[in-house]
Amino acid sequence: MFVRNWMSKPVISIEADECLEQARALMNEHRVRRLPVIKKDRLVGILTRSDVEAELGRSFGLAIERMREALMKTAEEVMTPSPITVAPDDHFERACTIMMERRISGIPVVEDGRLVGMITETDIFRAIVDMMGLKDPGVRVVLGLPTPDSLVPTLQKLAPGVAVRAIVTYHDPETKEWKAVVRLRGRTAVEAPADPQPASK
C-alpha cells in the first residue's frame, strides 16, 4: 500500500510571496491547518495555523498598525523551510512512522520536486476505517493467539467458509499474548474465547 493511494489531492497551497492575511483566509475557507508554500512551482516550506497565530499573537494588544504589519508578512518569512516530505510511491507505513516519530500531523507529498498531495492524520484515519471494514456489515471477532503463526489454523476452526473482510494482529503488552482482530461478513459481533467456537448469529 502506497502513499498515493491515500493522500489528499488537489492540495491547497500558498505562494511564497502571499501574505499571512491570505494564508489565514485560505485555512479558514478550506478548513485546513497547514499550507504547503510554493515558489516557482517548487515546494519551499510549510506554513501552519500555529505559525500564523504565533506571529499574530506577538502583535496582539499592540497598535493596529503593528497588527497590519504582521498580517502583511509573507508566507516565506514565517514558514518552516525545507519540510519533511514523502513520495507518492513511498509505503503508507513510512509516512505513518514519520508522522509519529516527528510528532507532525501532515506531510507534503512531492514527486520530481513538485507538490502532488498531502498525507495527514485524517487520511490515516480514513485508511484505517477502510482497511478494517468498519463501515461494512459483519462481525468483529477478537482472537487470543499463542503465537502469530497460529492465526490461520484458528481462523479455520472459528469460521470455515466465511469470507474475511480484514485482519489486524498486534501484541498485547499486558497479557503478553498476540491478538487478532478479524472482520467477518454477515455475522453478529462476538468476543471470541481463547479456543474459539464457530460464531453464531
CA 97, CA 104: separation in Å to the nearest integer? 10
pLDDT for 197 equals 45
CA 92, CA 127: separation in Å to the nearest integer? 10
Which phi-psi region, left, alpha or beta, contains residue 188 (left: φ > 0; alpha: ψ -120 to 50)? beta
Q: Are strands 139-145 and 164-172 parallel, antiparallel or unpaired?
A: unpaired
**Which residues, in sequence order, are bridge partners of residue 170?**
179
Report field, pTM of the whole predicted structure over 0.95: no
Cβ(3)–Cβ(88) under 8 Å?
Answer: yes
CA 154, CA 26: separation in Å to the nearest integer? 52
Q: Which amino acid is at 109?
A: V
Instruction: Note down pLDDT in tens along the chain; length 201 residues.
Output: 899 999 999 999 999 999 999 999 999 999 999 999 999 889 999 999 999 888 877 555 555 667 677 788 999 999 999 999 999 999 999 999 999 999 999 999 999 889 999 999 999 999 988 888 888 777 777 878 877 777 777 777 766 667 778 888 888 888 888 888 888 775 444 444 444 444 443
Give how far Cα 153 sits from Cα of 6, 101, 191, Å.
32, 36, 18
